[in-house]
Amino acid sequence: MRDFICGKIKKIKPSGIRRLFDIASEIPDVISLGVGEPDFDTPWHIREEGIYSLHKGRTFYTSNSGLIELRAEIAAFMRRKYGLTYDPEKEIVVTVGGSEAIDIALRATLDPGDEVAYPEPCFVSYEPCILLSDGVPVPIALSSETEFRLTPELLEAAVTPKTKALLISYPNNPTGAIMEREDLEKLAPVILKHDLLVISDEIYSELSYKERHVSIASLPGMRERTVVINGFSKSYAMTGWRLGFACAPAEIIKYMLKVHQFGIMSAPTMSQYAAVSALRNGDKDIAVMAESYNQRRRFLMERFREMKLPCFEPYGAFYAFPDISEFGMSSEEFCEALLKAENVAVVPGSAFGACGDGHVRISYAYSIEALKEAMSRLARFVEKMRAK
C-alpha cells in the first residue's frame, strides 16, 4: 500500500512539550506548571451572554468575518487600548483562537520559498505554521543578555532578499519579555528598509506589568504593513471558547478571509456573543486577573533570588524563564530529573527553539498555594543538585 502521509507533515517535529506531560499525567501528586492557561473562571457576565445566546436560539453560522457587532467592539478595543483605528467591515476578521489568525496570516501572504524571520525562544506553533505555508523559517536567537528583546542589529543580520515577513510576539511566550516603545521604534527603520510585512502576535497584550503594551502597528509607517493578532483566551480566561481576531489593512484581510472561509467558515456563534460582553464590560476583570498574576510573578522572582537561580525579570504574559545551565544538563534532562525527584512538571526551554536550552519555562497561572509548594520542591532539588 502506498504511503498516504504528506511528506511536509512528516518533517514537522511533534511539540517538545507533550512527551514530558504525558509522563507527568501518570504520576500522582504532581504539581504541573506547564500549561499556559489562566486558572480563573471565565467571568460570569461573559458566560451568561454565551448561555443567553443559546436560549435565544443563536446557533447558526455568522458572517465569515464574524458578527458585525463583535467586529465593532474589537475596533473600539483597538482604538481605546492602542490608539489604532480599523474598519469593522473590511479590516477585521474573527478567528478560532489567535492560533488560527497566525495560520491564515501566513497562508494568505507567503509564496513558496519566502522567508519569515522570528525571534526565538517563541511559541511552539510558529515554525510549523510557516512550514505548512511553504515558507522558510528563519529563527533569530535571543538571550537573557538583551532581555530577550529583538534588536535592529539582529534583525538586519537575519534579513535576506527572500525575507518577506517578520513574526514577533510581545509580551513573549515563553520568556515573559516585553518590547517597549523605544525598542519598537529602533526596529521600524529596518522593517521599512527591507519592505517587510509584520505579523505581530499580541495575545498577551493586556498582561504587561511594567508599562502599557505598545502595538508596533501604532508606530508611523507600520499600520499599513502589519497584521495584529489578538484574542480572548489569555486576557479574559476564555481558552476553551476558542476565539481570536486579526486586524490589518483591507487588502490583507480580504485574502486572510478567503483562507478562513474555506477552512473554518466562521468562528463559534456562542463564543462571539460572549466576546461582545467581554469587550464591553471586561476591563475590570482584566485588571483583577493581571494584578493577581503580577503578585505571583513577584513571588516567583523573590524565590528565584533566594535559590540563587538566575532569571531575568519578566514583565509580561505569565511565564518565568529561569537559567538552569549551571547544572550541566540539557533543559529536557533537568525537567525529567525534577519531575522524577520532586513531582514538579515544568517545560524544557528547548521546546521553544534551540536557543531556549539551558532554561525552563514556569507558568505562574496557577494558585499561589501551588506555586509556594512547587518552589519549595524546586529549591530542595536545586540544593541537592549543587551538593553533588
User: What is the pLDDT, as a whole number, of residue 263?
Assistant: 94
382 vs 4: CA distance, rounded Å: 48
User: What is the pLDDT, as a whole number, of residue 36?
Assistant: 82
Average pLDDT score over residue span 215-231: 98
Question: What CA–CA distances, in Å, run from 380 to 10, 202, 299, 376?
Answer: 41, 36, 17, 6
175 vs 316: CA distance, rounded Å: 9
pLDDT band at residue 298, thresholds of 50, 70 and 90?
Answer: very high
348 vs 336: CA distance, rounded Å: 9
59 vs 345: CA distance, rounded Å: 40
pLDDT band at residue 388, thresholds of 50, 70 and 90?
Answer: confident
379 vs 53: CA distance, rounded Å: 48
201 pLDDT more than 90: yes
Strand partners, 136: 115
297 pLDDT more than 80: yes
Using one digit for the tens of pLDDT, what is the confidence trace for 304-355?
999 999 999 999 999 999 999 999 999 999 999 999 999 999 999 999 999 9
250 vs 257: CA distance, rounded Å: 10
User: What is the pLDDT, as a whole number, of residue 37?
Assistant: 85
User: What is the pLDDT, as a whole number, of residue 150?
Assistant: 98
Pair type for strands 197-201 and 347-348 = unpaired
Q: Compute the residue count for the chain.
A: 388
User: What is the pLDDT, as a whole number, of residue 241?
Assistant: 96
- Phi, psi for residue 361 in degrees, rounded to 5: -100, 130
pLDDT band at residue 86, thresholds of 50, 70 and 90?
Answer: very high
**Could you give the domains of the chain?**
7-42+283-382 (3.90.1150.10), 46-281 (3.40.640.10)
35 pLDDT more than 90: no
19 pLDDT more than 80: no
Which residue shows C-alpha cell 512547587?
374
53 pLDDT more than 80: yes
Residues ≥6 apart with Cβ < 8 Å to 38: 233, 234, 237, 239, 289, 318, 365
Q: What is the DSSP string of 273-292?
A: HHHHHHHHH-HHHHHHHHHH
Using one digit for the tens of pLDDT, what is the confidence trace for 138-155?
999 999 999 999 999 999
pLDDT band at residue 26, thresholds of 50, 70 and 90?
Answer: confident
User: What is the pLDDT, as a whole number, of residue 117?
Assistant: 98
Q: How remote is the C-alpha of 227 from its chain's centroid?
A: 15
